[in-house]
A and B are shown apart, each in its own frame.
Chain A
């Protein structure tokens, strides 16, 4: 299990939410260790989300830092009305959108090709990875965002609606449209015969 799977599994555990709320309470009482624990718990997920949205390492790191600065500043007046993580992602999402509206300062990375190649993958696996990640990049930012939230980071539609500041029906509709757009992009790359065999 990699860090992403582990943190996603943790975030869905009700006892984790309770633990998280206790950390926030401790942080609000001035315990800086709680701040460190919250940062360690969520930094990778916020970074992965930002990196996919912004397609640039430096921008993603800056947005991740900014997200936590804002979250911890707000945390002093935060009322536990929803999951802290959803609230954190809402901040990250807004910061990503702000940055995406700015002229591109640092440039986009070309499909992370170097990152996608490793010694353990076969040529076919590497090719599939490249195709999938390029398809994700080609999607409209709203589609990319909803697929990141619901299909990759495993938020349910209700939580994604909160993060994206949309109604639940609008969020589901966006998710379904995003999946269909992704399917159209991937359709030419997958093995049609294999798909027919699986049916």
Chain B
């Protein structure tokens, strides 16, 4: 295979999705090709930087408390309306949405 052929497979290799035979052959190629080796390392470094540095957002306790109360209330209302009338009342808005 030519270098251009290996370049096409670099993303799959970085993703660990190449089969074993191709992985071994790719690794052999990387030992002798600075350009492909640089490409592999820079892609891996980008993903590592992303994983290590992306902001980790979390909900606040106040939000969780407020939202959970609202969800439980909505659920209770839904259950009441179902028991008073029929099941379609609870799912109707979403059936309509599907039909859009």
Contact yes or no, B67 A176, CB < 8 A: no
What range describes how many residues of B lie at the interface? 35 or more
Question: Which residue of A2, A52, A195 is within 8 Å of B41 (Cβ)?
Answer: A195
Contact yes or no, B91 A136, CB < 8 A: no
Q: Which of B1-45 contact A (CB under 8 A)?
A: 11-12, 14-15, 17, 37-38, 41-43, 45
Question: A32 an interface residue at 8 Å Cβ cutoff?
Answer: yes
Chain A residues in 8 Å Cβ range of B57: 44, 47-48, 51-52, 60
Chain A residues in 8 Å Cβ range of B54: 52, 132-133, 136, 152
Known: A36-B72, A48-B57, A195-B41. A68 touches B67 (CB 8 A): yes
Question: A22 an interface residue at 8 Å Cβ cutoff?
Answer: no
Number of A-B contacts (CB under 8 A): 126
Contact yes or no, A72 B71, CB < 8 A: yes
Residue of B nearest to A115 (CB): B55
What range describes how many residues of A lie at the interface? 35 or more
How far does the alpha carbon of A175 sit from the alpha carbon of B46 in the complex, in Å? 13
- Closest Cβ of chain B to A102, distance in Å, is 16
Q: Which residues of A contact B (CB under 8 A)?
A: 2-4, 30, 32, 35-36, 39-40, 43-44, 47-48, 51-52, 60-61, 64-65, 68-70, 72-74, 76-77, 112, 115-116, 128-129, 132-133, 136, 147, 151-152, 157, 172, 175-176, 179-180, 182-183, 186-187, 190, 195-196, 198-199
The 6 A-B residue pairs with the shortest CB-CB distance, nearest first, are: A176-B11, A132-B53, A183-B46, A48-B57, A51-B57, A129-B53
